[in-house]
Amino acid sequence: MRCPKCDSENSDTAKFCKKCGSPLKKTVSHESMINSMSNKSGSDNTTKYIIVALAIVVVVLAGAFVYLYGFNSNHTNDSQPQQQVQNASNDEAAQTEETSSSQASQASQASPAKPKTTSMSILGGSFSTGGELEDKTYASIYVGPEHAGEKVTLQIFYSRDGSTLNHGNMVPVTVDSSGHLEVSSADAYKYFPDFAEINLYDGSGSKLLDTRSVSLSPEAGTQTF
């Protein structure tokens, strides 16, 4: 390196002239400048490549995130209405069933069902005859007040000393509020009966519900059994 003041030769690393002491300014050669620029350009290109690669990675990751988030969001939104519809349907069915049960319970309490005629049986009763043989015989058959209002058919055979006194007509009759069936014989008999056979049928007279045999004293008056 030459000193610009005294033109003395100095080493390339010297900062001051060894002869005059003037500061030395480094001159950059054309080749060095080209190498420096080449190195700088290569470094800049590498940096650019790195930046572009990073940008591409960021774009790809962002796209993947948006896609996955959007898919999950749509799937959730699509499933929620279906679930809501299913829940609403289940709630409506449960409410309908509860309402039906409540109405059935209220109807059952408001109008309790009467016992079926098939459970009816002869629980007791009485026979009454007048003071004269020309009087009819009256029968009062007790079946219970729970059967009040039910229609049945009653048949009674009267006899004396083993001989029948009547034909045993089938008589339709309704149970009164006290639970009794009241019926009288069609005719008066020549003798007071000493035996009565009671047959209780349903309203149509086709099904026998109960039967009872009663022994009587052949005299006037009321006799219970």
Give Cα separations from 158 to 11, 41, 55, 104, 192 (angstroms): 164, 140, 119, 48, 9
What is the percent of the chain with per-residue pLDDT over 90, rounded to a whole number?
45
Query: Structure tokens of 16?
Result: 């001051």
Angstrom distance (rounded) from CA 173 to CA 142: 13
- Between 1 and 38, the more confident residue is 1
Per-residue pLDDT tens digits for 61-88:
888 888 887 766 655 555 555 566 566 5
End-to-end CA distance of the chain: 157
Angstrom distance (rounded) from CA 154 to CA 156: 7
Find out if CATH 2.60.40.10 is the number for domain 118-224.
Answer: yes
In the prediction, which pLDDT does 135 show? 92
3-class DSSP state for residue 151?
strand
